[in-house]
Structures are given as C-alpha cells and as structure tokens.
Structure 1
C-alpha cells in the first residue's frame, strides 16, 4: 500500500535550504548617533531657535531705541528766489532756518518704552517656547529611532528562529517523518518572518533618517549607542493618579469629644443607641 506522505525531491529541499540561508541577517557597519544630552546641547543651532534668537535681538534693539529721545530736526527754506522779474536770482530771497525738537510730554516716552519692553518679553517667551519645542521634537525622534532599532533586532531574532525551525522541518520532510504540508507551512512562516523583518528595517531606516535631519548630523546615523528610553523616569500608578488623598490618622494626644468616638478627616464614627440583651424594650412610666 503506498504511503500517503509525499516526499519532496532532494533538489527542491536543497534549493529551499539555500534560499533560507540567503535571508539570514548579516553584520553591517553602524554609525552610532551622539547621545541625547550631546544633541540637546546643540539645540540652540536649530533653525527655529536661531530664528527666535534673531527676533529677540531685534526686540531688544527696539527697546534701546525707545529709550532714546527723538533727534532734533533742522530745516532750511528759501522763498522768492530764482524767479522772474525782481525775484530773479537770490538777492531778494527770503531764507528761513528752523530747528524743531519734539517734546514728549504726558508720558509718551515712558509708554513707548513699556510697549517695547513688553514686545521684548514676548519675544523672549517665544524663544524659550521654540527651544522647548525643538527639544521635545528631538526627544521624540530620538526615542522613535531607538524603538525602531529594537523592533528590528527583535524581528531579526524571530527570523533566525523561524529559519532554524524551517530547516528542521525540511529535514524531517526529506526523511519522510513529516508530511509535505509541514514543509510548505515552514516556508510560509519563514516568508512571513522575512517580510516582518523587511518592514521593521524600513521603519528603522526612516526613523534614523528623521533623526539625522532633525539633529542636523553631518553623517547619517544608523544606530543608537546611548539609550534614552532606559533613562526616562517612570511614575508608579499611585503617583500618576490625580487627586489622590491619604487619610490622616488621629493624633495620640488629641482630645476626644464627650460621649463620642474619635473622628478623622476621611471617616467619622456613628453612635448607635444601646439595645438590651434580650432585644425587647420596656416603656418607661413618668414619675409624678
């Protein structure tokens, strides 16, 4: 009776093993990116921070200009000159020399200085906001690149394990100890793991390209040497819970109210009327 298990030809199994061998991860040269602290020290050279610094310097210059009094104005006017008849030439001309000085009364100069100072303060706040935004964007891009690198490492490890499993399955199929479907399934799993690895590699390359552009690195970064995710502070769920309040225990020397129980800020004891042991109560008759 023929066996229901169909065996693959040796040539097909050999080709499958060669194909699985070619997809194994190979070592690559890595150019590590500078640490996040080093990049944070260069945040002032970012385009947004440089623009904010220039606007702040212009606002401070307007403050200095507002403190200076207006310059006097000198004017020279000539009338009835270079005309016709008796007004020909410059002999009968009327020449007027005037000197004008603007007197800033009723607090005009002080108001102008205050407006310039307010604009300078706004420019300083915008500069600080631009620096904080640039630092936040740098931290986000750095963390995304590190996370993408870790996902790629996990995908490579999973691909190696899947290929090892597929090799073992193909050997068992060749020996006739496993059906043909097991070999096809192993090849499908290896192809899926390879696609996942390629996707993780593409995401990693894109993340490092964004990091290189945002950090303005001279050479493209391909790895992370100093971790940022491991240095991030962690908060416990109790610390992160908003509006958390602890009950204050009563002090040992606190005086208790007469006929009552000690009370605290979170709960108060309630007094219940005493009951008899038998559970029944007798009405009292008033005395005359």
Structure 2
C-alpha cells in the first residue's frame, strides 16, 4: 500500500482522478461531505472524516499547504476546546466547580466535537477550492443563476486575492522603509492603515478595469456560453449512483438518529461499536473516501499494467 501511495506523486499541481469527473458529480460529493460534517456528531465519525479529508487535502493542494492550513486550524480548535467549557455552563454532569466557574462534561465534549467539525469544514473547502474551479462552477450554475454564480465566484476569490495583494504591497513598502516589525502599536497601526489604503485604491482600480473589459467584451448582451464543456460519462454515472445510494442511507441514519449523539441537557451516548453504528461509519467512510479509492485504483492499474 505504501508503494502505491509513493508512486501516485501527490504534489501540489498533481491532478487526481476525481478532478476529472463532471462538475455535477464533484459538487454533489462535496455537499454530502458538508452535510455529514454538520449533522453527524459521533466522535468516531468525525475523527474518521478528519483523517480522510486531511489526506484528500494533501492529495489536492499538497502536503506543505495542508500542514500550514492545519497549523492555523489547530489553534482555532484549541481555542474552541478551551473557551466553550468556560463560557457554556449547560449540562447536567459537573466536572469542576472553581470559584463559581462550572465546567460540565457536556460543554467540554461539545467543544471538542465542534472543533473537529470546524476543522473538517476547513479541510473540505481547502480541497474544494482546488478541484471545483471557476470554470466548473460557471458550467454548473452559470445558465441557471448567472448573476448569483458570478457574485459567488467573486466573493470566494475576494479574501485570498486580498491577502495575496496585501503581502505583495507589504513587500514593496518594505523597500521604502515601511515595516511593521519591531514598531510600537501606534506606528504599526498607522503603517497598516497606509497599506490598507494602498490596497483599497489598487482594488478599486482593478475593479474599474475589469468592468470596462467586461463591457468591451459584451458581457450580458447575448446568451451565456461556456468556456469549457464537461461530458457526463459512464464513470460519472457509477459515482453518482454510489453517492445517491449513500444519500438514501444517510437519510435513514438521520431519521433514526444513528451516528448522532445527544449532548444537551444530558449526554446520551449509544454504543459506537454496534452493528448499525459500524455500518453507518463504513458507508460514510466509503462516500468520503471515494477520491482516495479512485486514486488507489488508478495507481494499481498503472502498477500492474506495466
């Protein structure tokens, strides 16, 4: 198994097999991931999903980028785990009571589960932003909701683009002697506001240029066309059928509260090793791990076809 993973060459620019699927199939897969993360709060399910989406992010954006994301995410997770039991006193099982500060078992467990849910969501969208490109998103929703689709794409690019430009402007300003390191809080605030001012001016200028370019190219004057077409082939049908079957089972699990634990007002945990719980974990693992399974299959095919 290690030989297979070593030969898949999981680099930053490596295009995995899952990325070649139809945008509708890819979008459905990620929507299922988000629903699983938001609905199922069983520790075993969240931990299993965390491992899978962590590996998926490493496959799509690269190990170094994933570790950087995980580093920032770990701080947020730790913050939630600490703050939630301190600020949330709900729950019937008291663990500690110090000078009027009540720490309950339910609030502590809820903080841990919420932290892992947040980490899973961040890792999911880390790979989503790489696999679901702007062209795929426009192909999927451009004709149905053209204005909303364009606005969504702009919003999704807004923060990363702003951060990149802010870094570039900061590096340029350092050559002029404007640095944020080693300064007082007042000087840091003044210099930061100058950089933000430059950033806003540059962004407005770029926005005007983009608007003029869109007008010159006749944006919105005719029926919208797609830059690239994506066919729905047999493999998309097979993956779609697997996802549809998984959705039906997940609906059954949600209705019967399988893989869902009750935390408030008192923690109620069913046996996580029961047959139905393990079946739910297996189904979720297969659905979440579809890109990894496809990559292993491709690696095996190339290995044994030589």
* Shorter-normalised TM range: under 0.3
TM-score, length-normalised on structure 1? 0.23
Task: Considering Cα pairs closer than 8 Å and 6+ residues apart, tell me whether 1 or 2 has the greater RCO.
Answer: 2
- Higher helix share goes to which structure? 2
